[in-house]
Amino acid sequence: MKISLDGQVALVTGGSSGIGAASAKALAQVGAAVVINYHSNAEPAEQLADEIKAAGGRAIAVGADVGDEQAVEQLFAKTIEAFGRLDILVANSGLQRDAPSHEMTLKDWNMVIQTNLTGQFLCARAAIQQFLKQGVNAELSRAAGKIIHMSSVHEVIPWAGHVNYAASKGGVSLMMKTLAQEVAEKRIRINSIAPGAIATAINEDVTGNEEGRRELLKLIPYKRVGDVEDIGNAVVWLASDLSDYVVGTTLFVDGGMCLYPGFQDNG
């Protein structure tokens, strides 16, 4: 069995690093043209686009703050201008601003909600508008379009010291399901991926040192920290027709982190 997204166009928000960059690469490897969105750091996004083009693929880098309504409209307009259509949105942009709740500023609360939840909504809304315009093109896919929200194990696991982040991901969970229920009859497929501990810049303070890793592994039954490719592979599957009957689901890619590892020899 071979997955091909030839002729399809994918937009990956927050695509210049970490999970977003791995998703963009993986989608390009199976033939999709990719729009690599970045927030402020153009260089790594441009580099990734060059890499994809050098390997024979199609890619562009486009800057936009996903929490800004107008910027999102421009991002989608540039996508259509460059590649003529959109088939896959990976709503991936996300950030953390951690603090105990009694010390958390409104600015840090708002910033995380704005990017992680409102940003995903604005991008999903724009993608749905485009998919409704296009309809199904059976030569490309059984669906009119696919949206993959990047959630987190923290859509179900409470996380002390990260209330803004956990609230944003809990929000992504019901937003995804509600959108999926709403537009499934139009053959628009919406799902989420909930990564566990994937080594990226977002958790370098923990995954970047031996003691942090040792403590983290206690929370992972499969006893390895995840790689960005683990998520890129899941993105490709959810974007392809191999998952055509998967609608409104969160796919946990977490080495078993959600299995209450504390109960392994306890309780």
x-or-dash string of contact with ligand BGC, 200-219, rule CB under 6 A:
--xx----------------
252 contact partners, CB below 8 Å, separation of at least 6? 153, 194, 196, 258
Gap between the Cα atoms of 55 and 26, Å rounded: 12
Per CB under 6 A, the segment of 112-120, 129-137, 197-205, 236-244 that binds ligand BGC is 197-205
Q: CB nearer to ligand BGC: give 147 or 172.
A: 172
x-or-dash string of contact with ligand BGC, 153-182, rule CB under 6 A:
xx----------------------------
HEC readout, 20-40 = HHHHHHHHHHCCCEEEEEECC
25 binds ligand BGC (CB under 6 A): no
Closest CA to 38 of 60, 61, 54: 61
Q: For residue 100, what are the CA distances in angstroms to 10, 73, 165?
A: 37, 35, 12
Q: Which of residues 114-153 bind ligand BGC (CB under 6 A)?
A: 152-153
Query: Residues 38, 165, 245, 260: which is the catalytic one?
Result: 165
Extended beta strands in 136-258, E state = 145-150, 188-195, 250-253
Strand pairing class (188-195; 88-91): unpaired
Nearest-CB residue to ligand BGC? 152
* Count of residues touching ligand BGC (by CB under 6 A): 8
20 binds ligand BGC (CB under 6 A): no
Q: CB nearer to ligand BGC: give 203 or 249.
A: 203
Q: CB nearer to ligand BGC: give 114 or 203.
A: 203
17 binds ligand BGC (CB under 6 A): no
For tokens 């910027």, name the residue. 71
Closest CA to 151 of 203, 92, 198: 92
Q: Which of residues 88-107 bind ligand BGC (CB under 6 A)?
A: 96
- Rounded least distance, CB 202 to ligand BGC, Å: 5
Could you confirm whether 165 is annotated as catalytic?
Answer: yes
Q: CB nearer to ligand BGC: give 74 or 96.
A: 96
Sequence letter at residue 118: T
Instruction: Evaluate whether 166 touches 158 at the Cβ level (below 8 Å).
Output: yes
Active site residues: 165
Q: What is the contact surface with ligand BGC in residues (CB under 6 A)?
A: 96, 152-154, 196-197, 202-203
